[in-house]
Chain A
Amino acid sequence: MKIDTVLHSDYTVVSIAGEIDMYSSPALRDMLLTLVKKNTATVIVNLKEVRYIDSSGIATFVEALKKMLAYKGKLKMAQVPDRLMEIFNFSKLDKVFEIYGSIEDAANS
């Protein structure tokens, strides 16, 4: 798994590539919690290059989201591949996360 973070003036984009599973999610957690500690207002997670996510990976996003909601921050998902969308749909995570087709849409919403 690779994580790439780009800071913009109004939001931060976290682009992830590879598989998010119980082995790789601790690194993702560290990254997200660093942003949470800084009270980052909007985090857009670009999932375009993610091949697979397991429940540990989803829990990592849930934890970040819960912590962000406490200071009214927003965690948005963008460019979710079909394979992941199936998991998100089954798990009804569209009720949990805001999901957008592109980073621009996520940024402008």
Chain B
Amino acid sequence: MKSNVKNGAAASKKNIDKVTVSASYLRNIEKKVEDLESIIEVSYIISSTLDYGKLISLVMEKAKHIMQAEACSILQYDKESDKLVSEFAITGQRVTSNVLPKDRVTFDMGQGIAGWVAEHLESVVIKDVYLDERFYHKANPLNNFKTKSMIAVPLVGRRGLLGVAMVMNSKDRNYFSDYDAGIFQTFCVQISAAIENSRFYTESVKMEKFREGLEIASVLQKSFLPETPAFRKGNLHVSATNIPADKVGGDIYDFTEPVNGSIGVLVGDVSGKGISAALYMAKIISDFRYKSKMIERPEVVFNRLNEGLSNSPMGMFLTASYFIVDVQTGQFAVSSAGHPPFLWITNAGVRIMDIPSGPPLGILQYEYISSGFTLKSGDRLLILTDGVFDVINANGERLGFKHLVAYIKEHREKETLVQAIVDYVHDFSDGAEMPDDITLVELKWQ
């Protein structure tokens, strides 16, 4: 009995496994497999095409072929204008037409079938477009092409709507079927991924070019600084340390010899960062070199410089200190235009030299003044930019001017004070991104 039951169960299972299908059903399955194979094959090709223009041409050609359609069109979604723009279309006779901007057809969201698909993020299969009230006769991206039936599918990526893909007029039938729509939708998932990849690639290339531009700006900017950062003239030793920030900053320093026997030292900081700051700095350096020639008074140079910078774009300005030192006597005159105080280091201590100062250059009409002092043997002047004390650590805390001065007071006797300050600032930031250039210029009187 038992064995009979077993045999019976096996026999009934065999009956269930055996299915009879019609020849047309089998043809349909075979076609579906063929279509999906084509999509996989095409997907491989399009996913390795990164050039956007080439990609879209290729996609349209393949879509036309797979869907057996007379024409294909891809409308791109322009986020800024919130419109669909037809840039590319392909018909049976003509190969790709890269439609010129003047010929571009645009659709508002909700306008025409494409606009409707984009707004509702739903695909549509239309047997006869002339019976569909959404059809917008006036805007046809395909010149001299009469659309009868179509499938329109939204192209959606991870960052939202990318556009709308459409195939028009089935070659072998009067209209497209729901089956065709399913296949086209599957293909459109691949198209969306490929478009997104290509856009991402284009963006990375642009970013890379921008970075290269910044690097060139940075190199150019530094080429404006004096070739030798240290020199001696008479009893005066001058040395400069400049550490550029991760982004292009705007610190400048320059040495001049306005008249025989005197040395001019300019330390400045251009507002802002990036290419605009680099260009502005280049203008300032050339203006300064021209306007400081033969001028013995720093305030006169500032007045002349300020006048030339009064029409600075975007509110750009320069904070600066300009020293003119007599290398025989140690007498010096200094003007400040909104620049941080300089430090005077003597055997007795460190003085914060907050001298009468005008506003930064390039903002207002102003009569700058200068202050006069005399250096004694062993005296040092330390001129810095705010990048030195604006440095931040990993906790987001800023070093601040007071802490910096406290450190300098404690280590003022060090021969290599500037290097010690640089090390201290680096230790404080502890690997955090440097927000600004660091410039320290030391004037030593022997």
Q: Are A59 and B357 in contact (CB under 8 A)?
A: no
Given contacts A90-B340, A96-B364, contact A56 B272 (CB under 8 A): yes
Q: Are B272 and A55 in contact (CB under 8 A)?
A: yes
Which residues of A are found within 8 Å of B336, using beta-carbon distances?
92
Given contacts A92-B338, A93-B338, A96-B364, contact A22 B274 (CB under 8 A): yes
Partner of A59, one of B272, B359, B400: B272
A22 to B246, CA, bound (A): 14
Q: Are B272 and A66 in contact (CB under 8 A)?
A: no
Q: Could you tell me the distance in whole angstroms from the C-beta of B276 to the nearest C-beta in chain A?
A: 10
Partner of A62, one of B317, B386, B435: B317
Q: Are B315 and A91 in contact (CB under 8 A)?
A: no
Q: Are A93 and B359 in contact (CB under 8 A)?
A: yes
Q: Are B315 and A60 in contact (CB under 8 A)?
A: yes
Residue B360 is within 8 A (CB to CB) of chain A in the complex:
yes
A92 to B363, CA, bound (A): 11
Interface string of B321-347 (1 = CB under 8 A from A): 000000000000000111111000000
Given contacts A92-B359, A96-B359, contact A66 B273 (CB under 8 A): no
Name which of B316, B338, B363, B364 has the most chain A CB atoms within 10 A of its CB. Answer: B363
Residue A37 is within 8 A (CB to CB) of chain B in the complex:
no
Q: Are B435 and A59 in contact (CB under 8 A)?
A: no
Partner of B338, one of A65, A66, A91: A91
Residue B190 is within 8 A (CB to CB) of chain A in the complex:
no
Q: Are B435 and A92 in contact (CB under 8 A)?
A: no
Given contacts A54-B435, A55-B271, A56-B272, contact A63 B360 (CB under 8 A): no
Which residues of A are found within 8 Å of B339, using beta-carbon distances?
90-91
What is the total number of residues of chain A having a CB less than 8 Å from a CB of chain B?
Answer: 23
A-B pair number, CB within 8 angstroms: 74
A68 to B27, CA, bound (A): 77
Which residues of A are found within 8 Å of B319, using beta-carbon distances?
55, 91
Binding site of A, secondary structure by majority: helix, strand, loop or mixed? helix
Residue A86 is within 8 A (CB to CB) of chain B in the complex:
yes
Q: Are A22 and B341 in contact (CB under 8 A)?
A: no
A63 to B273, CA, bound (A): 16
Residue B298 is within 8 A (CB to CB) of chain A in the complex:
no
30-72 of chain A: CB within 8 A of chain B: 52, 54-56, 58-66
Q: Which residue of A lies closest to B436 (CB)?
A: A54
Residue B112 is within 8 A (CB to CB) of chain A in the complex:
no
Q: Could you tell me the distance in whole angstroms from the C-beta of A104 to the nearest C-beta in chain B?
A: 26
Q: Could you tell me the distance in whole angstroms from the C-beta of A98 to the nearest C-beta in chain B?
A: 13
Q: Could you tell me the distance in whole angstroms from the C-beta of A101 to the nearest C-beta in chain B?
A: 21
Residue B23 is within 8 A (CB to CB) of chain A in the complex:
no
Q: Could you tell me the distance in whole angstroms from the C-beta of A47 to the nearest C-beta in chain B?
A: 17
Interface contacts beyond A63-B315, A90-B340: sample of 4 additional A-B pairs, CB < 8 Å, sorted by A: A64-B315, A92-B358, A95-B366, A96-B364
- Listed in ascending order, the chain B residues whose CB lies under 8 Å from chain A are 250, 269-274, 314-317, 319, 336-341, 357-360, 363-364, 366, 386, 390, 398, 400-401, 435-436
